[in-house]
Amino acid sequence: MSNAWLLVLGANSDIAVATARRFAKEGWNIYLASRDMDNLAKEAANLRLRYEVEARETFFDAIDFASHQAFYAALDPKPAGIIVAFGFLGDQPAAQKDFSIAKKIMESNYTGAVSILEVIAQDFEARRSGFIVGISSVAGDRGRASNYIYGSAKAGLSAYLGGLRHRLAKSSVHVMTVKPGFVATKMTAGMDLPKKLLASPQELAEAIYHGILASHNTIYTKKIWRLIMLIITHIPEKIFKKTNL
Ligand SMILES: NC(=O)c1ccc[n+]([C@@H]2O[C@H](COP(=O)([O-])OP(=O)(O)OC[C@H]3O[C@@H](n4cnc5c(N)ncnc54)[C@H](OP(=O)(O)O)[C@@H]3O)[C@@H](O)[C@H]2O)c1
């Protein structure tokens, strides 16, 4: 679909960069929106050069809720598709002691997405077209001691995206929820993660691109995570409390 614009929110994320490139390869023009403008400008130049598409960088802060209406109003032309990629893992033990960290985790993964997506949903609903991709996480499928503040924000995001999908289906707007397991990005750098369960940002980009073509509702990446989370969510609490999962 050339000449159409894709808006990537949190465009400096490694998954977002790979996904923007995947869409640009198919001729999509790209709005790269995030906070680090130097990085965005470099990547926009790269997209223009490598894929001969239009690419523009624009400042977007997911937790500056008051700015979201004006941010979206300024986009001309309006995008045909949106990817919400911003997110913040944070430090769980630190967040247990300091609510400002917990708040940042919740706002960066949940409230910010609700704030901007409600603005975009109104426009897509009125135009009766478009797609929205929200990157949630398997961490939202069950709360665990090691990351339950991040996980609870992602659980909220998954439920929100499900509701938005239900609402917008009547207007021919498709909403896809992405639930990655482990992905090799700067978010997980330095973590000792099992290689077989670790996806690359490029694998995510392929899955997102094809998921949109196929109008999938929820995708797990890697696919094995659907089975893993099915098992994890069915472990009775009595047993789960004794595990170190
Ligand atoms: N990596 C994983 O294993 C994994 C697993 C499951 C889900 N996910 C989710 O996948 C998404 C992408 O993750 P990733 O690993 O690609 O991330 P990443 O490489 O660590 O990048 C995250 C990006 O989010 C942006 N961001 C954070 N707060 C923001 C805010 N307030 N406003 C605008 N941008 C903000 C940052 O942009 P700036 O640089 O511009 O500040 C940063 O570059 C996230 O939602 C994450 O939770 C990741």
Evaluate if residue 188 carries a pLDDT over 60. Answer: yes
CATH of the domain at 38: 3.40.50.720
E strands within the chain?
A: 5-9, 29-34, 55-59, 81-84, 131-135, 174-180, 182-183, 198-199, 218-221
Q: Is the CB of 15 under 6 A from ligand 1?
A: yes
Average pLDDT of the segment spanning 133-154 = 98
Within a domain: 101: yes
Q: Is the CB of 142 under 6 A from ligand 1?
A: no
What's the confidence (pLDDT) of residue 1?
A: 57
The atom of ligand 1 lying closest to the CA of 139 is 6
Average pLDDT of the segment spanning 194-213 = 97
* Full-model pTM: 0.97
Evaluate if residue 198 carries a pLDDT over 90. Answer: yes
Count of Cβ atoms closer than 10 Å to residue 200 Cβ: 15
What's the confidence (pLDDT) of residue 49?
A: 98
Confidence of residue 136 (pLDDT cuts 50, 70, 90): very high
Q: Using the mean position of ligand 1's atoms as its centre, give its distance from the Cα of residue 17 in Å.
A: 11
Q: Is 31 a catalytic residue?
A: no
Question: What range does the domain containing 173 cover?
Answer: 5-240
Q: Are 122 and 116 in contact, with CB atoms under 8 Å apart?
A: no
Span 4-57, pLDDT tens digits: 999 999 999 999 999 999 999 999 999 999 999 999 999 999 999 999 999 999
Selected catalytic residue, list 150, 160, 209, 220:
150
- Could you give the C-alpha distances from 211 to 127, 131, 142, in angstroms and in order? 22, 11, 24
Within a domain: 245: no
In total, how many domains does the chain have? 1
